[in-house]
Each structure stands twice: as C-alpha cells, then as structure tokens.
Chains A and B, each alone.
Chain A
C-alpha cells in the first residue's frame, strides 16, 4: 500500500533515494544517516572488509555532494563505522565499533579529532554503536558490547552511564540505535531483547515498546528509532524487515513494509544503461525490490517526513505523515 491509514494517522509513500555503489553515487551497506541543514543528508556506508566505508553527502533532490572518510585506523578513517550524528554547529560525529572511538569531522568532512578508549570502565567503550546529542550538546553513546549507554562531552569526557546486561526492565542486551526527543528522553533500540526502551536522562525507565504478548507489534532485533512531532515512535524492525510505529505510550499503531515501486533516479540511470537488465526486470515480479530489506535507521524531519534507511537495498525510502488527508469514498 502506498498509503497506510491507521489509528488516525496517515503515512503516504513519497519516493526513494540511492542505490548500491562502491563509491560516488550510491551507498554500500549503509548503517546510519543524519539530517543536516539546507536539506543535506549524511549517509554512513559500512562497506565490507576493506572496501566501501564512507560518508556520502547528498540532498533530497538526489544531488551527490561528495564523500569523506575511508577504511583504515589512521586519523579520520574508520573500520566498522556504525552511527553518525551532528552537533549544533553541524560538525559530524561518527562511531567506530572496531576502533572503539568517535571521530569528529567538519561540516564538509575535514578530520578534526577523535576520542574513545577500549575497555569496560567508566568512559571506556566496547563496540560503540548509536550516537545522539541531547539539547545541551551532550553526546550519548550506545556502548553495545558493554550493554549500556554512556554520555560524554563533545571532547570525550565521561559524564554518566546507565544500563547493564540482562533482560529485565531497564536492562540492555547488545543495544544498537538511539534517539533523543525534545524533552531529552532517550530511546534505545535494545537489539538482543527485541524491544525499544525509553529512559529519562537520569536513566530511569519510562516506557517499553515491544508489542503485545500475542505478538502484535513485536520486534526482532530493532536497530534504529525516531520520534515525530506528535510523539509517535518509529522503530526499524531490522530482523523482520519492517518499520513498526507506536504511540508515545507504547501502544502499537501500524507497520510500514517498503513501497519503492519506482527506482530512484540514480537507479533508473543504471537500469536505462543496461538493455538486458531492462528486459530481465520485465519478466519477473519486482515486489521483493520495493520492500524493506534490513531497514536499519530512521529519522523524522521537521516536516514529519519519515525517512528509512535500508542496509540490504542501499537506499532511503521517504514517507509523508499527512495531516490533512481526506479518505476517498470506500465504494469507488
């Protein structure tokens, strides 16, 4: 369905951006993205082994604006980049799960500095995954293999932590993504426990998002989370290849499954250049291509557009949350 109506909400598929590529136009196993100013997005590609790692700068009009970063352990490089976010001045922060550090770049991608030490003590990292900023500019890092969340100053000074390994309320099991709402509440994708947990800045558990005991609204290995202006919560249900949507109180609303029936302009250029590909696409059911495969990160922009990043399909799918939608007659 291109338009999904559920519980008073309307989600309308708009278009997609991106395709697979080892460099330049496109992404390779992208893991996270962040919205910048002037419609710019930064998309973080994980690549594979020694190829494809980079940050791609693009805008919503499919304009490729360059890329920065590459594989390596030297300053400004990364090995297993996982998450990306911007501070209030537009500087780019990238977490690296292998090197256990966070690297900081200028808005255009010049290396500035990095911080992070391996370990399990306060301020040390083991597999830093999601990163997000609160309203005071504090950096919150999902310290995945230490099963906790830590906060730092922008130069890497340890400030606080919460969470411990386990399956009880407030516990974490290899958590992945993170987002912070306007009240500085912290949402953590608790990957190994198949849920998202919402915490107060003090670490107090507020709400769990995991569906009902019957399985409705359930999650399998959630990876990313975002909140819109109404407080609705979007979770990339990575293991189930869908995006689950919940109300602020945890009530399940609906799911998005991907609707990219029209290739992106970049992808269309590739297809148009290959006559055999055009023919091969006409003899098969393309639905598996439209649908989400490993949706990994989600963001909501100021206009409540919901933007979903797919790792396996190397693209972004964009939905509008419509506020003035009028249902057509059911008997048409």
Chain B
C-alpha cells in the first residue's frame, strides 16, 4: 500500500479508536504497521496511565469535586492528555451505552467513579462489566434499584438491563423483566456521609440479604434461585446480546446508525458486519478486546472513512489535541467541558437512559455554526504550537516541491492536518480561496507573518468543511 494511503488509513483508525493524531504521530504509528498499532491500542495498560497523584497535586480541586463542570473537566483533561486513547474512547462509548445522568443522580463525583469503571473494565468481558455497572451506586440510584426489595419489586433496572444494556426489545418477555428485577433485590447503596461541610464522600455498593428475594425464578427459560450475577451470566451468553452489543460498537466506531430506540424495527445498515462482530463476541465469550480487534481489522471498518459525524467531545478534544493548546496542565479545561455541553453533549449528563441521539442529530444550524466557529478559532490562532507546526509543515512541503500554486498549498494543508480527504466541491472552494491569498513568500519577517496568516486561514476553512466535522 502506498505510504500516503497508509497514513490515511492510520488517520482513520486514530480518529475512531482515539481522538485523532497529528501528522507527526501518524508517521510514527505507520512505521509500526496497522495491525501492530491496533494491538497497541487494545492493550492500553502497556502505556502509562494519567498520574492521578500529579493531577491532584496540580488540580487539587478536581479531586472529589462537587461541581459537574469540574468533573467534566477532569475527564476532558484525560481525553486530551491520555497515552491510552482507546481506553478513553471506550469510556465515552460505555457512557453512551450505560447513559447515567447527573440530572437525577446529582452526584458528579459518583459519575466520575462510574467512568473509572469503564476505564478499568471496558476492554474486558461484557459479563464482568455488566456486574460492575450493576454495582455502580450511580447506576443503582439512576434506575432506582435502591428501592428494589423482596415484596416491593422495582423493575426499572431489570427492564433497562434487558432493553438497553443487553438483549434489546423483542428478545425477552415482561416476565423476564420481573424475574430479573427479583434477582437484583437487595442490591443497593450504603448510606454515605452527606455532602459538605467537608466535601464529598463516595457512595458504596451494599448488598442487603434481608431485602433479597432468594426464592426460585425462571429467566429466559432457565430456572434457579438466581441472584443478580446469575442473571448477568445468562444474559452474557445470549446471541441477542452479542448482536445488540455488535450494533452498538458498529454505530460508535464504524458508521452512523439509527438510534437504539428504533433498532427493533430498523435493520442494521450492514448486517454482515454485525454478524462478524457478533461471531467475535460468541467465540470469545464476550471479550470486548476480541470484538474490537475484529472490528478495527475488518474491511468494512477500513472502508468507512468519514461515515460518522463527530460527537462534540470528539470534535473538541480532537481539535485541541491537534492544536496542542491543552497539552499538560493549564487552566481552562472546564471551558472545554462546557463547550461540549454547548455543542449538545454535556458529559456526565446525557439526556436520557437511551443516551445521546448521534449522527446527523448532533447537528442543527445553531450547533453547526458553533462547531465550525470553535474549530476555526483554534486553527486560526497561529500562536498555538500545533497550528504553528502544521503551518511550518505546509511551508516546508511547498518549498521542497518547489510548487507554491494554490492547488499545491491546499494539498499541503490537507496533508499537514493528517491527510484529510475532502470532496471535490470543498477542494475547489479551498483552491479558490488559496488563489485569493496569492503566492506564499517568506523572504522578510512581514512576508513570513502574512504567509503564516494566509495558511492558517486555509486551515480554518478546512476545519469548517464537512469532512472535518466527520470522523
């Protein structure tokens, strides 16, 4: 495969399995080979984790923070600065699937702890993850399982477990919901020290045997004195769970799909891909890492460039990562977190248990303007280290090839932004703009400044393009 095509494919992988890479990072990854990079991504524990002790030394107010924006900032910091991009991307995926919202939980610290569960268990088996989520105090409170007691069943958790977290509508009965709920009676939260006057204290999972219904249950055709973990064991072995999770993974990593609420009436856009992923689930007994390996190495993934609208978090984190203006510690991560919310994705506060409506639903005219303005403002700031690096790469490229035609300048800009591919109409408009800028020159300081400025204007137009808004 030609080198440029390898770069394009790696850029695609890193937009999906991470938050995008700079041109220099892509070169480094390509030198390792595609499959090797996939393996590297699949084992995040081989890369250094964010140093929590250092993070909380610099940002002591992040630790145990009560404010939603600060907990969001804590996560945005990690998304930008992680050496484990797939770990954070999976946390975002699971946050979408197990959507738990601060609007009801009113405990951002506990939601941050739930995100940590996603980091720790997000590439293990689905069974283990489901058990941890079932014990997550944020989830218990979100779906009312603290009120689920023997003789006073609350079916909320049992229903969503089957409908939204595993089997999907049409693959279970109302009786199964009730029996699942019975099995989770007694799974509750221990009373915690209330918030303030000395900060926040964690919630802890508590199992109360006196509230548990230990009588016989029949669930999905199986009969026994089931407890919650038994129910998860049965669920995790169901072919419907494999297909359901496969479709979620396809929707998040491959291409936009309809919202989960309509899956029982809308077939997948690529049934063969879903089958392949479901097979990987079944063969590995629900090992998420194995499914993702099959996904990232598949042809349907490699051919799905720019088939997904970036979520606000992907757009914002990817942009500032490329611009390099939030690398390491600095004030203002809460502003980026707030920007995610203003663009329609308030982290830790999804709109409902069904998560965000994605794809084209991320975009409305107002939000589109905000997304474009955000990215354009960043790439128009030539004081930012990443923007400077891109502009310098453009100038070196143009100089090396001895071609400073508008077409060559546009190609160099697209190359420097990670070999971004744009459609013909966008390409023509970029060239038309480059023609207005005139020749690039850098004989004097003034010429150099003007050239930097002109190149950054092309970058802002690229950031406003349809392709930049897609992953």
Q: How far is the CA of A239 from the CA of B56 in the complex (A)?
A: 10
Q: Is the CB of B199 within 8 A of A312?
A: yes
Contact (A288, B201) CB under 8 Å given A20-B196, A221-B53:
yes
Q: Is the CB of A239 within 8 A of B53?
A: yes
The chain A residue with its CB closest to the CB of B198 is A313
User: Which residues on A sit within 8 Å (CB–CB) of B333?
Assistant: 49
Tell me whether B332 is interfacial, beta carbon within 8 Å: yes
Q: How far is the CA of A280 from the CA of B191 in the complex (A)?
A: 8
Q: Write out, one digit per residue, whether chain A residues 158-192 have a CB within 8 A of any chain B CB (1) or not (0).
A: 00000000000000001010000000000000010
The chain A residue with its CB closest to the CB of B333 is A49
Contact (A47, B196) CB under 8 Å given A79-B331, A289-B201:
no
Q: Is the CB of B63 within 8 A of A267?
A: no
Q: Is the CB of A50 within 8 A of B201?
A: no
User: Which residues on A sit within 8 Å (CB–CB) of B197?
Assistant: 19-20, 26, 263-264, 266-267, 270-271
User: Which residues on A sit within 8 Å (CB–CB) of B56?
Assistant: 294
Q: Which of B60, B193, B334 contacts A294 (CB 8 A)?
A: B60
User: Which residues on A sit within 8 Å (CB–CB) of B43?
Assistant: none
Tell me whether B70 is interfacial, beta carbon within 8 Å: yes
B 60-84 contacts with A by CB, 8 A: 60-65, 67, 69-70, 73
Q: How far is the CA of A19 from the CA of B58 in the complex (A)?
A: 21
Number of B interface residues in the complex (CB < 8 A): 31
Q: Is the CB of B60 within 8 A of A311?
A: yes
Tell me whether B377 is interfacial, beta carbon within 8 Å: no
Tell me whether B32 is interfacial, beta carbon within 8 Å: no
The chain B residue with its CB closest to the CB of A176 is B57
Q: Is the CB of B58 within 8 A of A288?
A: no
Q: How far is the CA of A283 from the CA of B193 in the complex (A)?
A: 9
Q: Is the CB of A50 within 8 A of B53?
A: no
User: Which residues on B sit within 8 Å (CB–CB) of A270?
Assistant: 196-197
Q: Write out, one digit per residue, whether chain A residues 23-46 have a CB within 8 A of any chain B CB (1) or not (0).
A: 000101101000000000000001
Q: How far is the CB of B309 from chain A (nearest CB, A)?
A: 29
Q: How far is the CB of B106 from chain A (nearest CB, A)?
A: 13
Q: How far is the CA of A263 from the CA of B62 in the complex (A)?
A: 24
Tell me whether A6 is interfacial, beta carbon within 8 Å: no
Q: How far is the CA of A284 from the CA of B53 in the complex (A)?
A: 28
User: Which residues on B sit within 8 Å (CB–CB) of A276?
Assistant: 194
Q: How far is the CA of A264 from the CA of B59 in the complex (A)?
A: 26
User: Which residues on A sit within 8 Å (CB–CB) of B330?
Assistant: 98
Q: Is the CB of A288 within 8 A of B193?
A: yes
Q: How far is the CB of A190 from chain B (nearest CB, A)?
A: 14
Contact (A48, B59) CB under 8 Å given A221-B53, A239-B53, A289-B193:
yes
Q: Write out, one digit per residue, whether chain A residues 48-74 have a CB within 8 A of any chain B CB (1) or not (0).
A: 111010000000000000000000000
Q: How far is the CA of A288 from the CA of B190 in the complex (A)?
A: 14
Q: Write out, one digit per residue, whether chain B residues 188-208 have a CB within 8 A of any chain A CB (1) or not (0).
A: 001111101111010000000
Q: How far is the CB of A279 from chain B (nearest CB, A)?
A: 9
Q: How far is the CB of B53 from chain A (nearest CB, A)?
A: 6
User: Which residues on B sit within 8 Å (CB–CB) of A283?
Assistant: 191
A 259-301 contacts with B by CB, 8 A: 263-264, 266-267, 270-271, 276-277, 280-281, 283-286, 288-289, 293-294, 296
The chain B residue with its CB closest to the CB of A31 is B60
Q: How far is the CA of A294 from the CA of B59 in the complex (A)?
A: 13
Q: Is the CB of B198 within 8 A of A191?
A: no
Q: Is the CB of B191 within 8 A of A267?
A: no
Q: Which of B57, B61, B193, B334 contacts A28 (CB 8 A)?
A: B61
User: Which residues on B sit within 8 Å (CB–CB) of A209?
Assistant: none
User: Which residues on B sit within 8 Å (CB–CB) of A46?
Assistant: 60-61
Tell me whether A314 is interfacial, beta carbon within 8 Å: yes
User: Which residues on B sit within 8 Å (CB–CB) of A264?
Assistant: 197
Q: Is the CB of A98 within 8 A of B194?
A: no
Contact (A20, B199) CB under 8 Å given A48-B61, A49-B333, A312-B64:
yes
Q: Is the CB of B196 within 8 A of A19?
A: yes
Lowest 3 CB-CB distances: which A-B pairs, in order? Answer: A48-B61, A19-B197, A267-B197
Q: Identify 6 residue pairs between A and B in the complex whose beta-carbon atoms are under 8 Å apart, listed by A's number.
A: A19-B196, A49-B73, A50-B331, A221-B57, A263-B198, A288-B201
Please list the residues of chain A having a beta carbon within 8 angstroms of any beta carbon in chain B: 19-20, 26, 28-29, 31, 46-50, 52, 79-80, 97-98, 174, 176, 191, 221, 223, 238-239, 263-264, 266-267, 270-271, 276-277, 280-281, 283-286, 288-289, 293-294, 296, 311-315
Extra inter-chain contacts (12) besides given A46-B61, A98-B330, A289-B193, CB under 8 Å:
A19-B197, A48-B67, A48-B70, A49-B61, A49-B332, A49-B333, A80-B331, A276-B194, A280-B193, A283-B191, A294-B63, A312-B60
